[in-house]
Amino acid sequence: MDNTFQENETVRMEAFSDGVFAIDITLLTFELKAPRHPDGDYSSVMLLHALFKQWPAYIAFGLSFATIFIIWVNHHRMYNVIRRSDSRFMYYNGLHLLLVSTIPFTTSLMSNYIATEAMTLAGFVYMFLFAGICATLYLMWSHATKDYLLLKRPAADVKVQTVRMGLVISIIAYVVAALASFLSPYLSLLIGFGMVVYLSRLKYHRERVV
Amino acid sequence: MDNTFQENETVRMEAFSDGVFAIDITLLTFELKAPRHPDGDYSSVMLLHALFKQWPAYIAFGLSFATIFIIWVNHHRMYNVIRRSDSRFMYYNGLHLLLVSTIPFTTSLMSNYIATEAMTLAGFVYMFLFAGICATLYLMWSHATKDYLLLKRPAADVKVQTVRMGLVISIIAYVVAALASFLSPYLSLLIGFGMVVYLSRLKYHRERVV
Amino acid sequence: MDNTFQENETVRMEAFSDGVFAIDITLLTFELKAPRHPDGDYSSVMLLHALFKQWPAYIAFGLSFATIFIIWVNHHRMYNVIRRSDSRFMYYNGLHLLLVSTIPFTTSLMSNYIATEAMTLAGFVYMFLFAGICATLYLMWSHATKDYLLLKRPAADVKVQTVRMGLVISIIAYVVAALASFLSPYLSLLIGFGMVVYLSRLKYHRERVV
Amino acid sequence: MDNTFQENETVRMEAFSDGVFAIDITLLTFELKAPRHPDGDYSSVMLLHALFKQWPAYIAFGLSFATIFIIWVNHHRMYNVIRRSDSRFMYYNGLHLLLVSTIPFTTSLMSNYIATEAMTLAGFVYMFLFAGICATLYLMWSHATKDYLLLKRPAADVKVQTVRMGLVISIIAYVVAALASFLSPYLSLLIGFGMVVYLSRLKYHRERVV
């Protein structure tokens, strides 16, 4: 059995992941750019108009920020019930981070193409990435909970099936959102915001009274 | 009652927030750009002139740096008197980080439009964001101190009303600064620098002698 | 003997290194850019075409991400068996970070030139940097294990020779990959992906059953 | 006496500073850019030529990386002998971080103007910033050691005068380097590299055998 990684390994891997999440969520800010202005006179009204024209960027920024935040919360809740790590779990986590760190790219796609015909594809890619990210969370969870392999004791408090179901539902919902962007990009975005609420409610272990 | 998040959750959320603050304050550096130069001869005098022409960027960089720093100090002082977190507090904190991470954007607006007519609007947006950030701090504080819900003991040392008042004053001051930019952008900036001093003096708990 | 740096110094240096690794791996995302589009109509098919044309960027992003991740794992495993640090170890570590933080640059070279004739040189530089990074890991390891100078006890569990050999093999493999890019860039990339697997299997100490 | 900040405050401020240092040192990588290439054929020889033409960027990157690293080491060594913080120390530290986070800007100046006539001024600004950074370290040290105010016990081990002298020498040396850039930019750079070695040798407390 390959148990190289101990508890303190789990701590470091989580800290490293936290770093990637924090940087990623902050890099989204590059989606928001001060509108270029020609030299010479430039009035507040013109700037206001230019700022309003950037609305797709604000929506993409807001949804991506909320989604990264809520995925971080879930990643974090998962680690909270995990006692140790092994190589496979580490690689699943690496894959998870790889996908998370491409969110600024798909966000940029969204905010660049949201007002064009190509938004259909941009929305599809954007939502499909979130499905993939939930799939890596599912892989991590499945592996960690198989025979209660990596769980903290008492494992009885861990909601193995609830989370498994919750992540499957999330994957399906994001695939639906991806496909929905062929019908209406705005429906797709709505599902995206709904998923932030849904994922915020996923509980990984029974609550104990403090 | 939804008390999923325990004390160690508070630690992680604070560490995550610290990461976002640290990255955000460092990303401001992108406001400072080496002036482009045409090929061929380019003398020190020409560079000096080009550097001086960038003065709005230096002011925006300085004020934003100082403000993020002092908001981090306040965020940090608040967490110092908080024992645990709940879902609502976590979302208020997420909203707080969302607003904080748009500071590089409004800073960029400021430094791009400070010398144009549109500075009025740029200054308004810039200061209004700070009002919003103080408002999220107020939300966090109100929720945490309601019935002493999330406070560390002994809660008697926590200056609940002082901080509440201080944050309300900050919100008002930043709204005034935002409106003042319609009169004079420079007055608005002055209020901004004054607020850095004011916020640095807000104490969250009674001092104990070490 | 110059033993200024104690155990808690090791902790901080590792935390600082972790920060640099986490930021570096996240900055790779700037390789992935939303394709520019002309104003006016822009269909999903055109966007799909533009996205496919960026395949070199995806390969470069993926390989660099995987390599930084696996080098971080190795850096981390090394620190796990090290008890304390001295000045020389600290400088070797600094040199290591210097090279690691140029990976986004060589990645950018790769993704810009992968489809041109100049890919030969881009591939050479890209792979040669990885050889250099493994060489700095080798320097760190050699110094730390000389007379078991900086190792944790019981040092008998530390696989001094295995790691030394593994790092020498890695250096050679990356030099071969660098030279291979003169024959075929794709062979070179294949070696690169193979090395991720190889480096993931390097064990720094004997496993103990938990 | 204003002693709001306790020991754990020192820990957080140091962690926050570490974050800013780590991000700053990694952002230097943006100085290194893949050379643009015209569409069509582009040979390895042409790329090699273009890469060599970027030598000023490599020198600026290397010197800035080494200097940030060694200033981080000094900042860190200082915090190692400090027991607690007060408001003034915190503001000096904030000012220190403000200056540190402008290094990517002056580095960009250097690498853009190193081969032009304007290098004189670029070199002056670049070196003068380092003098300012050492001056903020000096302010921090003076305040912390006044009446042994913020020092860890036993304060007798702390090399108060050695460090004070070392920082004064560093300020002077960087001012000399700044002025030297009017004579010869390369002499100035040489002093810069020398200072990295000098600052790496500054000891903040007497060594104890482990």
**DSSP for C155-198, written as a single string:** GGGB-HHHHHHHHHHHHHHHHHHHHHTTT-HHHHHHHHHHHHHH
The predicted structure's pLDDT at residue C3? 43
**Do residue B26 and residue D3 have CB atoms under 8 angstroms apart?**
no
- The whole-number pLDDT of residue B210 equals 43
Cα of first residue to Cα of last residue in chain B, in angstroms, is 37
Across residues A20-36, what is the average pLDDT? 88
Angstroms from B106 CA to nearest CA on chain D = 19
Classified as helix, coil or strand, B13 is: helix
Q: Is C182 helix (H, G, I), strand (E, B) or coil?
A: coil
Percentage of chain A lying above the pLDDT 90 cut:
45
Residue B19 burial (CB < 10 Å; 0-12/13-18/19+)? buried
Q: Residue A30's closest chain C neighbor by CA?
A: C30
CA distance A89 to A142: 10
Per-residue model confidence as pLDDT tens for chain C (210 residues): 344 445 566 777 888 898 899 999 998 988 888 887 766 667 888 888 888 888 888 999 999 999 999 999 999 888 888 888 888 888 899 999 999 999 999 999 888 887 788 888 999 999 999 999 999 999 999 998 887 777 776 667 778 889 999 999 999 999 999 999 999 888 999 999 999 999 998 888 876 544
Residue B204 CA to residue D4 CA, distance in Å, equals: 10
Structure ipTM = 0.85
- The residues facing D151 across adjacent strands are D82
- C105 phi and psi angles, rounded to 5 deg: -65, -50
* DSSP classification of residue D153: S
d(CA B173, CA B192): 9
Taking the CA of residue C178 and the nearest CA in chain A, the distance in Å comes to 25
- The per-residue pLDDT for A9 is 67
Q: Per the CB < 8 Å rule, is B44 touching D125?
A: no
Q: How many angstroms separate the Cα of A77 from the Cα of each of A26, A198, B186?
A: 21, 15, 47
Output the CA–CA distances (angstroms, integers) from residue B49 to C69, D121, D171, in the order listed.
45, 11, 27
* Mean per-residue pLDDT of chain A: 86
| Residue A179 three-state SS | helix
Q: What is the mean pLDDT of residues A17-31?
A: 90
Task: Report whether pLDDT(A63) > 90.
Answer: yes
Collapsing DSSP to helix, strand or coil, B210 comes out as: coil
More confident residue, C120 or D38: C120
CB B110 within 8 A of CB B188: no
CB of C44 closer than 8 Å to CB of A121? yes
DSSP for C4-20 reads ---HHHHHHHHHHHHHH
Query: Do A130 and A96 meet the contact criterion of CB atoms below 8 Å apart?
Result: no
Q: How far away is chain C from the Cα of A102, in angstroms, using its nearest Cα?
A: 6
**Cβ pair A72:B16 closer than 8 A:** yes
Query: Which of C24, C116, C125 is nearest residue D37 as measured by Cβ atoms?
Result: C116
pLDDT at B13: 84
Q: Do B34 and D108 touch (CB under 8 A)?
A: yes
Q: Give the pLDDT confidence score for residue B52 in this predicted structure.
A: 87
Identity of the residue in B20, B91, B121 whose CB atom sits nearest the CB atom of A25: B20
Q: What confidence score (pLDDT) does residue B1 get? A: 35
Evaluate whether D206 touches D157 at the Cβ level (below 8 Å): yes
Closest CA to A130 of A151, A146, A107, A161: A107
Q: Which chains touch B (3 or more CB pairs under 8 A)?
A: A, D
Predicted confidence at residue A38, as pLDDT, reads 67
**DSSP H or E run through C122:** helix C119-145
Interval A168-185 mean pLDDT: 94
The Cα–Cα gap between B42 and B44 comes to 7
Angle in degrees, CA D43, D48, D53, rounded to 5: 130
What pLDDT is attached to residue A130?
97
Rounded mean pLDDT for each run of 10 residues along chain B, 210 residues in total:
52 86 90 76 82 87 95 90 84 94 92 83 94 96 83 75 94 96 90 94 72
Residue C56 C-beta-side C-alpha neighbours within 13 Å = 15
Query: Which backbone phi and psi does B89 adopt, to 5 degrees?
Result: -60, -40
The model's pTM? 0.88
State how far the Cα of B118 lies from the Cα of A50, in Å rounded to an integer: 11
- Convert B193-205 to b/e letters by CB count within 10 Å (16 or more is b): eebbeebbebebb
Best B10, B20, B23, B26 member to test D by mutation, with max D CBs in 10 Å, is B26
Q: Is the separation of the CB atoms in C40 and A113 below 8 Å?
A: no
* Partner-chain residue, chosen from C26, C69, C76, that has the shortest CB–CB distance to A94: C69
Please report the pLDDT score of residue A66 as a whole number: 95
Where do we find the tokens 């990295």?
A: D196
Check if the beta carbon of residue A37 is closer than 8 Å to that of residue B113: yes
Q: How many CB atoms lie within 10 A of CB A149?
A: 17
Q: Do A20 and C34 touch (CB under 8 A)?
A: no
User: If we measure between CA atoms, which residue out of C15, C17, C8, C1 comes closest to residue C140?
Assistant: C17
Give yes or no for a cis peptide into C154 (omega within 30° of 0).
Answer: yes
Give the list of residues 6+ apart from residue B17 with CB closer than 8 angstroms, or none. Answer: B75, B79, B93, B96, B97
Q: pLDDT tens digits for D133-173?
A: 999 999 999 998 887 777 776 667 778 889 999 999 999 99
Whether C162 and C112 have beta carbons less than 8 Å apart is answered as: no
Name D199's Cβ contacts closer than 8 Å, sequence gap at least 6: D70, D71, D73, D74, D166, D170
Name every residue whose Cβ is closer than 8 Å to that of residue B107 and which is 6 or more positions away in sequence: B28, B31, B60, B61, B64, B126
Letter for the amino acid at B192? G
Separation of alpha carbons D99 and D115, rounded Å? 25
Predicted confidence (pLDDT) at residue A78 exceeds the cutoff of 70: yes
Alpha helix segments (H runs only) across chain D: 7-27, 44-53, 55-80, 87-100, 103-113, 119-145, 160-183, 185-200
Interface of D to B at Cβ within 8 Å reads 2-4, 6, 9, 12, 15-16, 19-20, 23-24, 27, 84, 87, 90-91, 94, 97-98, 101-102, 104-105, 108-109, 111-113, 116-118, 120-122, 125
Q: Mean pLDDT over residues A98-116, rounded?
A: 89
Contact assignment for D101 to B62 by CB distance below 8 Å: no
Pairwise CA distance, residues C127 & C96, whole Å:
15
User: What span, in angstroms and rounded, lies between the C-alpha atoms of D113 and B46?
Assistant: 12
CA distance B104 to chain A (A): 7
pLDDT at D98 over 60: yes
CB within 8 Å: C200 and A105: no
Find out whether D121 and D129 touch, Cβ atoms under 8 Å: no
pLDDT at A3 (0 to 100): 43
Please tell me the predicted confidence (pLDDT) of residue C39: 63
User: Which chains have 3 or more CB–CB distances shorter than 8 Å to chain D?
Assistant: B, C
Strand partners, B151: B82
Please state, in angstroms and rounded to a whole number, the distance separating the CA atoms of residues D94 and A171.
Answer: 44
Write down how long chain B is: 210
Number of Cβ pairs < 8 A linking chain C and chain D = 89
At D210 the pLDDT is: 43
Secondary structure of chain A: what % helix, strand, coil (to 5)?
75, 0, 20
Do residue A25 and residue B97 have CB atoms under 8 angstroms apart? Answer: yes
| CA A28 remoteness from chain centre | 13
Measure the CA–CA gap between A112 and A102, rounded to whole angstroms: 16
Res D5 pLDDT > 60: no
Q: Where are the alpha helices (DSSP H) in B54-116?
A: 55-80, 87-100, 103-113
Q: Measured on CA atoms in the order B129, B133, B139, B142, is the torsion positive or negative? A: negative
Nearest to D29 among C6, C105, C116 (CB): C105
Give me the pLDDT at residue D35, please: 84
Instruction: Record the tokens describing residue D87, joined without a space.
Output: 């408001």
Distance CA B174, CA B177 (A): 5
Q: What is the DSSP letter of D42?
A: -
Q: Which two tokens stand for residue A115?
A: 């007002």
Kindly report the three-state secondary structure assignment for every residue of A17-66. Answer: HHHHHHHHHHHHHHHCCCCCCCCCCCCHHHHHHHHHHCHHHHHHHHHHHH
- Report how far apart, in Å, the C-alpha atoms of A195 and of each of A78, A123, A167, A202 are: 18, 15, 11, 11
Q: Check C116 against D72: CB less than 8 A apart.
A: no
Tell me which amino acid residue A132 is: G
Q: Tokens 């008998």 appear where?
A: C156
Q: Give the mutation candidate from B25, B85, B113 for the A interface (greatest A CB count, under 10 A).
A: B113
d(CA C80, CA C82): 6
Q: Which residues of C touch A109 (CB under 8 A)?
A: 34
- pLDDT given at position A139: 96
Residue D83 pLDDT grade (very low, low, confident, very high; cuts 50, 70, 90):
confident
Angle at which helices D160-183 and D119-145 pack, to 10 degrees?
170
Query: Can you give the C-alpha Rg of chain C in angstroms?
Result: 20
Sort out which chain C residues have CB atoms less than 8 A from D66's CB and list them: 94, 98
